[in-house]
Amino acid sequence: MKLPISWLREWVELGASETAVADALTRRGFYVEGIETLGGAYPGVVVARVLEVSRHPNADRLSLCRVDGGAGELRVVCGAPNVRAGMVVPLATIGATLPGGLVIKKSKIRGEESQGMLCSARELGLSEDHEGIVDLERTFGAGEGGEAVALPASGTPLAALVGTPEVVLEVEVPFNRPDGLGIVGLAREVKAALGGRWTTAARDRLAAQAAARGDFDLTLEDAEGCPRYLAQAVEGVRIGPSPRWLRRRLDGVGQRSINNVVDLTNLVLFEFGQPLHAFDLAKLAGPAILVRRARAGERIVTLDGKERALDPEVLVIADRERPVALAGVMGGAESEVTATTTALLLECAWFDPRRVRRGARSLELSTEASKRYERGVDPEIGPAATARFLELLARVSPGARPAAGRERRAGEAAVRTLTLRTARVARLIGVAIGAEESARHLAAMDFAVTAGDPLTVAVPSWRPDVTLEDDLVEEVARARGYDQIPEAPPAGRGVHAVRSERERRVARARGAMLARGLSEAWTSSMVSEREALATAALLGDAAPALVRLTNPMSRESQVMRPNPVAGLLRACAHNLRQGAQAVRLFEVGAGFRARGAGELPLERLMLAAIASGPAHAHAHSDETLKATDSALQPLDLFGAKGLWEAWLEEMRVDTPGWRAYAAAGWKPGASAEVASVTSHIGWAGSLSQPLLRGWDIEVPVHLFVVLLDALSQDAAGRPRATLPGRFPPVRRDLAFFVPVAVTHAALVAALRGAAGEWLASLELFDVYAGTGTPEGMKSLAFALRFQHPERTLTEDEILKVQERMTIAAARECGAQLRER
């Protein structure tokens, strides 16, 4: 809401500067976002008359104008389409400074000299209008009663015509303060904040009551949607341009001038927050007004020229035959006030906020009127607003006189009365404020207060937001100023913070990924359906229960991700496009799965990680490192698996089990699922190129996905300490031939099972199949360490253990010891 300071001063006696007003409003909850100045001193800008307009020889869109600037004829190049001979215009002469700081110099535009500039309203800081040169006759040529007035001679400074600059505050009005959408409401806040008083004119205007004479045909069919309606016919109206003062008021609040009557309804809307509507009385069948719900199939062409189909959710104003306006939203085109109108019907009504909101929503329309009705117009302000309109109408259209009128009210609104305890104020604000002080603050806001403790407080009709005692506490706190509230140091209050096992686990999961050299990504939770299906299939869910948005912004964001993989692949593709050689990213986030009707989706906390590109951030070949060394190569299957294994170890997943796994999207034979002792925890492997192409990725990508909540049972336990052996370990190498189908894990299990407690470690160091291996066999070679906690093992003891291991490997895996 724009608040022009001169308009404010019409209502409140005020000594304060505009910055003090702005600060006071901000500190009372009406945030002032900016202060702008409309108009200015305009040094060097004068009233001028266009004598002749001809085409610019070198540019179709430009004109060459001969202009009388008062001090002789000038040649000016102009780009505005509306310039014409005879027009009275603002001319910025050479040396003039415009409000934006632009200094006018003599210049050549496309080869033609320009001795000045004709200005638009925006260039002059008069309004946002930049559609053409200001037509001074249209803007300033109407007198008080609409009669034409002569404009000053060419060469007169423009400032003399425009008057003093207008300072306007841009106020952010809270949703719960409909009164703030009118100058009167803001004036009341300023008055209370700065100790000002209503002006005499303000008091008169607020006390004025227009009384409608009772002979207009008015029916409230939907009294719930419209409990109050005042219809007042006015005859002898002459429609014409608005006088300067009225245009200036509308410019101040950012409204375009239309004609004197419409401008006046807008003036009252912005002043009182009460929307008014003027119908052309001659175009109302009856003439009569019926306030009712729209009937199915009814249509109306609204003032914006659009034809709209109505439904019974919409409250309409109808005449004898048809809807003529959408109640509280917009008027109809057929009954619009036009240049030929001589009699009008003024509507001043109170509509139910929810009804207007539903109507506006169903028609996807939002107007200055609907905005105010939705939030709640002051139900008692109608008569004063009507009186104000009629008073001003008599000024701008002399001879206009009220004719038939009627007001209908479906019941009287009760005054809301609340009590306010001093103790409640102290309890919520944290400082004792006496009943007298509270009463003073409330009275300054025109609440009717009866002394005592508790105070009895009658809430004024324009404050629908105040319904509880605590709302009054806020009024008192606001009035006193939040900066007057003391500051209490944070107290313990017997509550201490606890970090849950899950929080610690998630933090460890992140840390363990960062330690592997993967950076953390935060990706979109919303993905396309295609992405969701492809990534769900990776995790074995070929027909996922997706959580779909009903109002997505785009196809790229239409479902909630079933896991974070799609986001990581998007990030991967983005970085590759930007020239990244390697992409190593992980994310911890929810994956969503729809459940039964009414139930919230399942949100599974997951960690997903991708790795692609070189294994090292930097490596170069030199004599100690051959070019074929893995450090220079892209991360391979085992390089990636090593990362995930190290992560699992850091997460204390006890001997994770890896099983071959196949699902759409993985590279065949290069994926696995991972299980802990108790449950399935994740998936790992290389992605297939056809899947990657869905994200325009052409390089190999390794993926790892873990269900973080599945780790809880295993990773949570506190490890028991064991004493490290003090006696030197004995190292031995053993190699076995095993049938090709036997897995490493199976052989290790057999070996470990037979070894007993002296086997400290068993590490694979070679896998080989080829020359020298028997048909259908492969060779696996292990480095073993034996250690006794309390003594040195003898050669004999070690040989016995090795023998047991060899026998078990042979029995369980068909392994034969490879002699050297």
- According to the binding rule CB under 8 A, does residue 38 interact with other proteins? no
Closest CA to 2 of 127, 251, 169: 169
- According to the binding rule CB under 8 A, does residue 594 interact with other proteins? yes
Q: Which of 547, 710, 730, 805 binds other proteins (CB under 8 A)?
A: 547
The answer to whether 541 is a known ligand-binding residue is no
Contacts 24+ apart (CB under 8 A), 466-473: 466/416, 466/418, 467/416, 467/418, 468/418, 469/418, 469/419, 469/420, 469/421, 469/424, 470/424, 470/428, 471/418, 472/418, 472/420, 472/438, 472/442, 473/420, 473/424, 473/425, 473/428, 473/429
Strands in 6-123 per DSSP E: 12-13, 31-38, 45-55, 63-68, 73-78, 88-93, 107-109, 112-114, 116-118
Give least dist CB 582 to other proteins, A.
Answer: 7
Q: Which of 513, 537, 734, 815 binds other proteins (CB under 8 A)?
A: 513
Q: Computed from CA positions of residues 375, 380, 384, 387, in that sequence, does the dihedral angle turn out positive or negative? A: positive
- According to the binding rule CB under 8 A, does residue 543 interact with other proteins? no
User: Angle 501-515/637-650 helices, nearest 10 degrees?
Assistant: 150
Q: Looking at 702-756, list the stretches that DSSP marks H as alpha helix, in order from N- to C-terminal side.
A: 712-715, 744-755
Which amino acid, one-letter code, is at 760? A
d(CA 485, CA 237): 56
258 φ, ψ (degrees, to nearest 5): -115, -65
Q: Which of 106, 299, 320, 354 binds other proteins (CB under 8 A)?
A: 354
Region binding other proteins by CB under 8 A among candidate stretches 158-166, 497-505, 656-664, 721-729: 497-505
Q: Which of 432, 514, 660, 745 binds other proteins (CB under 8 A)?
A: 514
How many residues touch other proteins under the rule CB under 8 A: the total is 104
Q: Which of 101, 411, 492, 668 binds other proteins (CB under 8 A)?
A: 492
Q: Which of 61, 574, 659, 791 binds other proteins (CB under 8 A)?
A: 574
Q: Which of 209, 551, 722, 771 binds other proteins (CB under 8 A)?
A: 551
Which residues 148-207 are close enough to bind other proteins by CB under 8 A?
174-177
For residue 346, the cross-strand partners are: 232, 278
As given in the structure block, the two tokens for residue 220 are: 């409230």
Q: Which of 150, 296, 451, 498 binds other proteins (CB under 8 A)?
A: 498
Region binding other proteins by CB under 8 A among candidate stretches 52-60, 353-361, 393-401, 795-803: 353-361
Please compute, for residue 700, the number of CA atoms within 13 A of its CA located in the half-sphere on the CB side: 15
Contact mark string toward other proteins, 451..470, x via CB under 8 A: --------------x--x-x
d(CA 115, CA 113): 7
- According to the binding rule CB under 8 A, does residue 443 interact with other proteins? no
Which residues 604-643 are close enough to bind other proteins by CB under 8 A?
616-620, 622, 625, 631
Angle at 493 between CA 488 and CA 497, to 5 degrees: 110
Residue 103 DSSP symbol: B
Strands 288-293 vs 448-450: parallel, antiparallel or unpaired: unpaired
Q: Which of 71, 130, 412, 522 binds other proteins (CB under 8 A)?
A: 522
As given in the structure block, the two tokens for residue 127 are: 């309004």
Q: Which of 167, 193, 315, 571 binds other proteins (CB under 8 A)?
A: 571
Q: Which of 7, 592, 647, 683 binds other proteins (CB under 8 A)?
A: 592
Q: Which of 73, 412, 520, 763 binds other proteins (CB under 8 A)?
A: 520
Note whether 49 and 88 are within 8 A (CB).
Answer: yes
Q: Which of 153, 448, 485, 741 binds other proteins (CB under 8 A)?
A: 485
Residue with tokens 């009707």: 597
- Given the complex with other proteins, which of 480 and 652 has the nearer CB atom? 480
Cβ burial, residue 391 (10 Å; 0-12/13-18/19+): middle
DSSP calls for 631-682 = GGSBP-HHHHHHHHHHHHHHTT--S-EEEE---TTEEEEEEEEEE-SSSEEE
d(CA 546, CA 530): 11
As given in the structure block, the two tokens for residue 115 are: 């001795």
Other Cβ atoms within 10 Å of 340 Cβ, number: 8
Q: Which of 6, 525, 773, 816 binds other proteins (CB under 8 A)?
A: 525
- According to the binding rule CB under 8 A, does residue 583 interact with other proteins? yes
- Given the complex with other proteins, which of 36 and 144 has the nearer CB atom? 36
- Given the complex with other proteins, which of 380 and 709 has the nearer CB atom? 709
The answer to whether 812 is a known ligand-binding residue is no
Q: Which of 31, 658, 661, 758 binds other proteins (CB under 8 A)?
A: 31
Which residues 694-733 are close enough to bind other proteins by CB under 8 A?
none
Give least dist CB 761 to other proteins, A.
Answer: 24
Which residues 410-439 are close enough to bind other proteins by CB under 8 A?
426-431
Give least dist CB 524 to other proteins, A.
Answer: 6
The answer to whether 501 is a known ligand-binding residue is no
Secondary structure class of 221 (helix, strand, coil): coil
- Given the complex with other proteins, which of 484 and 794 has the nearer CB atom? 484
- Given the complex with other proteins, which of 518 and 703 has the nearer CB atom? 518
The answer to whether 475 is a known ligand-binding residue is yes
Q: At 203, which helix (H) or strand (E)?
A: helix 200-207
Region binding other proteins by CB under 8 A among candidate stretches 257-265, 513-521, 675-683, 702-710: 513-521
Region binding other proteins by CB under 8 A among candidate stretches 237-245, 349-357, 412-420, 688-696: 349-357
For residue 733, the cross-strand partners are: 783
Angle at 523 between CA 521 and CA 525, to 5 degrees: 145
- According to the binding rule CB under 8 A, does residue 297 interact with other proteins? no
Which residues 369-388 are close enough to bind other proteins by CB under 8 A?
371, 374-375
Region binding other proteins by CB under 8 A among candidate stretches 257-265, 439-447, 542-550, 692-700: 542-550
Q: Binding site: which residues?
A: 465, 471, 474-475
> Which positions make up the binding site for Mg(2+)?
465, 471, 474-475
